[in-house]
Structure 1
Amino acid sequence: MLEPRLQSYLDTIQECLSLIQHRLSGIHSAEDLIRNDAGMLIMDGIAIRLQLIGETVKKLDHHYPGFFASKGIDPKPIIRFRDFVAHHYDEVDYELLYDICINHLPALREKLDALLS
């Protein structure tokens, strides 16, 4: 059984990953994120959830140093992306967001699912 704070951090990340996956269900390309207001609303929501994942990873890594590394997860790129979104939101690229969601989040989710099962 995990410590309550650690469990809470992991639950927050899992919830964000689930919400991102759900929001992407109608998105079939990066361009769908900028095609209309609905796509842009989805993109904004995903960016905020990615920022929350990064913030949570940052807190978890501070309170439990080495936890992610011991699970085969490098927290640094996640934290750096959080910092980028937080401080340069106007420069966030829709293609980068889509790439992260399609090519990187599934592996993170798989590792967290294995950890929590």
Structure 2
Amino acid sequence: MVEGRAAQIESPDDFVSSFEGTLVLDAIAMRLQVIGELVKKIDKIDSTILNRFPEIEWVMIMRLRDIISHHYEMIDYEIIFDICKNHIPKLKATLNHLLHNG
């Protein structure tokens, strides 16, 4: 879902240059919050699962969730853009691997 929403964003400024862009930013932030919450739950149940994939910055995902949840005004649209373009594809591949291979 994040990738689909982010596909229409070509630069960080697209998030803030129109009303539609801010809606996309808000939607992506909420999806990232959900991802962070799920990662926190997995970590709480069995942190060894996350430890098997050290290439993913799990702690940063959980911290981002906290920022979105408790300090929404601190969200940096350029960081969200970077996450969408550079980190979500790797996270998606890792999660797909985990789902299909345990």
Q: Does TM, normalized by the shorter one, top 0.5? A: yes
Amino acid at match of 2:98: L
In the alignment, structure 1 residue 109 sits paired with structure 2 residue 72: no
In the alignment, structure 1 residue 55 sits paired with structure 2 residue 37: yes
State the partner residue of 2:64.
81
Task: Report deviation, 1:74.
Answer: 3.9
After superposition, where does 1:30-49 map in structure 2 within 5 Å? Answer: 30-49=12-31
In the alignment, structure 1 residue 92 sits paired with structure 2 residue 75: yes
Identity score, percent: 40
How many pairs were matched up? 99
> CA contact under 8 A between 1:61 and 1:68: conserved in structure 2?
yes
State the partner residue of 2:9.
27
SS of the counterpart of 2:80? helix
Which blocks of at least 5 consecutive residues in structure 1 are unaligned? Answer: 1-18
Partners of 1:31 and 1:47 lie apart in 2 by: 16
In the alignment, structure 1 residue 66 sits paired with structure 2 residue 53: no
Partners of 2:53 and 2:60 lie apart in 1 by: 15
Which blocks of at least 5 consecutive residues in structure 2 are unaligned? Answer: none
Deviations 1:20-74 (A, max 9, x none): 1111121111111111000000000000110110011001110122111113334
